[in-house]
Structure 1
Amino acid sequence: MRKNILITGMPRSGKSTLLKKLIANFDKKVGFVTNEVRKDGERIGFEIETNTGEKSILANINFKTNFKVSRYFVDIENLNLIIPKVEDFNSNDFLFLDEIGQMELFSEKFKVLVEKYLNSSNTCIATLSKIYSDNFMENIKKRKDIFLIEITEENRDEREKYLETLLRKISKAKRYISDPKRFSINQDKVSITTNHGIRNLTKQKEGWICNCEFFRGNKLCSHVIALEEYLKIHK
């Protein structure tokens, strides 16, 4: 099911700030964010902060390690020690990671955590570096269960509203899938019974088209997301 959101963009485009705003809407959540560490106004490193408030230094200009990005030395052991704090979660927890980038990907344990989050039935939102890429990141971007959203300084306010709505649509889609009686299928035409009436979907060359207002403006909706997953389950 398309239920994972990856936010990408250039440095200082607002990826982390946007993610923090979005996860603030969820009471039950598991994951971590990355904060800047500053001294006398200068950025000297980065720290990881988990959903429970535990912190650990990820990188610092004064460290001496074998892993370096720009002028920051990365402490993989600190990252590996924090991962067990966020690797267990319940089925109703919202998952988040900030960020999937070069520093974090020095850690094989972090890669395992990323795949665990994305492969779960939970919704996961993560920030993704745009200035670094490797095979692991490219494979993530090719997954069929993600929405890849790029933000800029110009569009981030609009993207914030869109992502808030998209998260609600994903949640709705999960509810639809949990009740197969909502779906009525007649070859290339499908009806889904919702709390707001019946939504009609038609299969076209480019995929499924829904008659709801959100689809007309965005070319996707909770009904299409739910139907795609329903058809996978009931092949």
Structure 2
Amino acid sequence: MGRFLLLTGDKGAGKTTAVRRVVDAVGREHFAGFFAGEVRRDGARRGFGLTSLDGGEGVLASVDSASPLRVGRPNSAGVGRYGIELDFLENVCVPLMRKAAEHPGGAILVLDEIGPMQLYSEAFKDAVLGLLSDESDALVFGTIVLRSTPWTDALKKRAGVETFLLTEANRDSLTRMMSLYLGELVRRR
């Protein structure tokens, strides 16, 4: 059965930054997967992107998207600000996830993040569950949305899933702890 170590916390708590620091401390060569991050233009947030650890980049959500799948504070017409784009997630990130589920003892899989935008993808949700199946030996390190959603609430309760609340007060110590723990797991593999 796969194992998930997931940081959670309020928006802006530094979850992605903490995951990046752990990956750098342990060594990028021991990880595969992807990071999510803001896309900014002229000082303003214009969307969200995904970057795979092997350098690939794609859009996850954008104010310029015509997608009918919308998130974010609604405008005056009641339409969410960001259109969800699933191509990169489903064509690049999901295959990385499936590969991790099929290759025991391989790289630690970084999933940043399991959140509302990613949950628009049934392929993503299926791949997450595949990583926790009895046939999987994947080790996943990443982030998950703090706020309650039925799907993420159920995931957090599954066997093999551990969540760690990241706050400003514990950010440095939790990052060090995860670096030491994952570093030791890498040495034992």
TM-score computed with the length of structure 2 as normaliser: 0.82
RMSD after superposition: 2.1
Q: How does 1:194-205 map to 2 (within 5 A)?
A: none
Contact 1:2 1:144 in 2 (8 A): no
Contact 1:59 1:72 in 2 (8 A): yes
2:163 corresponds in structure 1 to 148
Tell me which amino acid in the other structure corresponds to 1:66.
P
Give 3-state SS (helix, strand or coil) of 1:57's partner: strand
Contact 1:80 1:109 in 2 (8 A): yes
1:51 corresponds in structure 2 to 53
2:44 corresponds in structure 1 to 42
Contact 1:102 1:132 in 2 (8 A): no
1:17 corresponds in structure 2 to 17
1:126 corresponds in structure 2 to 142
Contact 1:13 1:151 in 2 (8 A): yes
Tell me which amino acid in the other structure corresponds to 1:49.
T
Tell me which amino acid in the other structure corresponds to 2:144.
L
Tell me which amino acid in the other structure corresponds to 2:171.
R
Contact 1:8 1:151 in 2 (8 A): yes
Pairwise CA distance, 1:139? 1.9
Contact 1:100 1:127 in 2 (8 A): yes
Q: Does 1:158 align with 2:173?
A: yes
Q: How does 1:173-212 map to 2 (within 5 A)?
A: none
Query: 105-114 or 89-98: which moved more?
Result: 89-98
Structure 2, unaligned runs of 5 or more: 73-80
Give 3-state SS (helix, strand or coil) of 2:38's partner: strand
1:83 corresponds in structure 2 to 93
Tell me which amino acid in the other structure corresponds to 2:34.
F
Pairwise CA distance, 1:2? 8.2
Q: Does 1:97 align with 2:114?
A: no
Tell me which amino acid in the other structure corresponds to 1:108.
E
Query: 88-97 or 154-163: which moved more?
Result: 88-97
2:7 corresponds in structure 1 to 7
Residue 44 to residue 132, structure 1, CA distance change in 2 (3 Å):
farther
Q: Does 1:115 align with 2:135?
A: no
Pairwise CA distance, 1:84? 4.8
Seq. identity, %: 29
Aligned residues: 173
State how far apart, in whole Å, the 2-side matches of 1:159 and 1:21 are.
11
State how far apart, in whole Å, the 1-side matches of 2:111 and 2:12 are.
17
Kindly indicate whether structure 1 or structure 2 has the higher relative contact order, using CA contacts under 8 Å at least 6 residues apart. 2
Give 3-state SS (helix, strand or coil) of 1:130's partner: coil
State how far apart, in whole Å, the 1-side matches of 2:18 and 2:174 are.
9
Pairwise CA distance, 1:79? 2.2
- For 1:75-113, what per-residue CA distance to the aligned partner results, in whole angstroms no more than 9, with x for missing partners? 123422223551324432111100000000000011122
State how far apart, in whole Å, the 2-side matches of 1:53 and 1:19 are.
16
Residue 145 to residue 170, structure 1, CA distance change in 2 (3 Å):
farther
